[in-house]
Amino acid sequence: KTSIGENCVVGPNTRLTDTLVGNDAVVDETVAINAQVDDFATCGPRAYLRPGTHLMPHAKAGTHVEIKNSTIGEGSKVPHLSYIGDTTMGSGVNIGAGSITCNYDGYHKFKTNIGNNVFVGSDTMMVAPVSIGDGALVGASSCITKDVPADALALERSEQKIVEGYAAQRRHKLEKED
């Protein structure tokens, strides 16, 4: 059964199924199934809250965000273009655009734990099972496969390689083939 609190904004193209929405929440162009959206939380536009999702007070699930079986802590934000599955997230967390939790290995589902006041840079993969400690910083475009201690910087990426003149040589070769 769906319940909507007082002073809420429920935007067009929203479908709420067996979902609890607290007071002063904003749910805009969102599909929510068996989810809980607490007071002052915001969803959408175009958010998908799958069963077991809990947005705590002042949390945000933004544009093109899918969340499944996860708790998003108080004041935490998943603002855009992200998938968060089987995750427990503390308060004051920011998840950068395009970041995901990789929770499924083809056979089993695994959990991701994100502490309080964590910053995750854009386009990051967190491969479960993995934990990120309180206050940690995860650099953009990282693939996190090991636990990150509290207040640590986790950064993973390949070295950028520059091959001078390659693009011009390739164009020249392809133009000759035409």
Sheet with 112-114, side-by-side order of all strands: 3-4, 20-21, 36-37, 54-55, 71-72, 87-89, 112-114, 130-132
Token code pair at residue 2? 């769906």
Could you tell me the two tokens for 18? 């067996």
Cβ atoms of residues 125 and 102 within 8 Å: yes
Q: Among this protein's residues, is 80 annotated catalytic?
A: yes
Nearest to 102 by CA among 122, 125, 118, 72: 125
The two structure tokens encoding residue 16: 């709420």
Catalytic residue, from 54, 58, 64, 80: name it: 80
Catalytic positions are 80
